[in-house]
Amino acid sequence: MPMRWNPEIHPDEITPEGLFRQRRQIMRAAAGVGVGALLGLDPWHALAAAGKDLPDVRSGVVTTADKETPFLSATTYNNFYELGLGKEDPAKWADHLVVDPWSVTIDGAVGRPGRVALDELLRPHPLEERVYRLRCVEGWSMVIPWVGFPLGDLLKRFEPGGSARFVAFETVHDPERLPGQSRDILAWPYREGLRLDEAMHPLTILAVGMYGKGLPNQNGAPLRLVVPWKYGFKSIKSIVRITLTEEQPVTSWNAHAPEEYGFYANVNPAVPHPRWDQSKERRIGTLWRQDTLMFNGYGEQVARLYEGMDLTRNF
Ligand SMILES: Nc1nc2c(c(=O)[nH]1)N[C@H]1C(S)=C(S)[C@@H](COP(=O)(O)O)O[C@H]1N2
Ligand SMILES: [Mo]
């Protein structure tokens, strides 16, 4: 499927308003059913509580013509090890994550470091919908209408210094409440990182919502990263710290198994995971497998970031 949007080359090639509206109406109808009631299972009630209203969301851009993943699948089939290892655990234990009050520390090589309340952090940034694919290294993928804004816009406000070359992110650390954090799965808190140019790329967003509403806890409320050309584990959830660094930061999965999870983690069907192939993926909600695209289909926008790099070594 050809790309619908390229921020550098065709800034005006956005989804026709009509198409967007139509899609949104379908979503509203689906959401109106009341997911919690539909499931009729007590632990799942967190789902119904999720999805707070958001201030004005611009009818943003659609980067794929692929069908959206149903809301129910995107919110009940998750990876969020702080809330358990099973795919259904994050939705079940979503209440264990307390997202209010929330603040984010921005520090390291920035001109204006500080700890900022979430409201204040978000206020200057108009929210936009971006329909992106998200592909997990485990071989499944989804198409999700995220609501967020470019990470680069936020970083610029805090004035990255000349020595800054990377951005490190940290998830909230609350072992008393988050069941996974008292288990020896990863070195907590969960950490991720990007090179500064990747972080500043217009496709890289901080998401605060999905499907037109606030993020459900299991999807990384209240603030998560989405980097559409990288494997899902790069898209760190429930962020409490953003640090500009000179050195490549330590990241959870890379530290856990460096031969399996590289720092770059670009979606690359040509580089297999040591224990399984990466050339195909199963779209959640379908039964068949489809070809995985280089850079998850965003190569036209991002391939130049990696020019001259050996992507089999820098995987
Ligand atoms: N803090 C934190 N962030 C995380 C994870 C996690 O376990 N903890 N899992 C990652 C992985 S492996 C994937 S595939 C995506 C899944 O995002 P989703 O559940 O919203 O689809 O979240 C990523 N972000
Ligand atoms: Mo993943």
Which stretches of the chain drop beneath a pLDDT of 70? 1-50
**Residues contacting residue 141 through CB under 8 Å, at least 6 positions apart:** 133, 134, 135, 281, 282, 283, 284, 292, 296
Taking the C-alpha atoms of residue 134 and residue 140, their distance in angstroms, rounded to an integer, is 9
**Residues contacting residue 137 through CB under 8 Å, at least 6 positions apart:** 231, 232, 233, 261, 265, 273, 278
pTM: predicted TM-score of the whole model, two decimal places: 0.87
Shortest-distance Cα residue to atom 12 of ligand 1: 233
Mutate to test the pocket of ligand 1, among 47, 69, 80, 238 (most ligand atoms within 8 A of CB): 80
Q: pLDDT at position 313, please?
A: 95
CA-77 nearest atom, ligand 1: 19
State if residue 134 touches ligand 1 by the CB under 6 angstroms criterion: yes
The model's pLDDT over 16-62, given as tens digits with 9 standing for 90+, comes to 333 343 444 444 434 433 444 444 443 344 444 467 889 889 887 78
Q: pLDDT at position 237, please?
A: 98
Q: pLDDT at position 61, please?
A: 77
Give 225's strand partners. 206
Q: Which domains does the chain have, with CATH numbers?
A: 51-306 (3.90.420.10)
Residue numbers in the known binding site are: 78, 81-82, 136, 171, 219, 224, 235-237
CA-218 nearest atom, ligand 1: 19
124 C-alpha vs ligand 2 centroid, how far in Å?
31
Count of other CB atoms within 10 angstroms of residue 288? 7
Residue among 94, 115, 213 at smallest CA distance from 170: 115
26: helix, strand or coil: helix
Q: Which residues crowd ion ligand 2, with CB under 5 Å?
A: 79, 136, 232-233
**Residues contacting residue 288 through CB under 8 Å, at least 6 positions apart:** 282
Q: pLDDT at position 2, please?
A: 33
Q: pLDDT at position 60, please?
A: 77
φ, ψ of residue 105 to 5 degrees: the values are: -95, 130
Q: For residue 39, give the amino acid letter.
A: L
198: helix, strand or coil: helix
Q: Where are the beta strands (DSSP E) in 123-228?
A: 127-135, 140-150, 166-171, 191-195, 205-210, 213-214, 224-226
Q: pLDDT at position 150, please?
A: 97
232 C-alpha vs ligand 1 centroid, how far in Å?
6
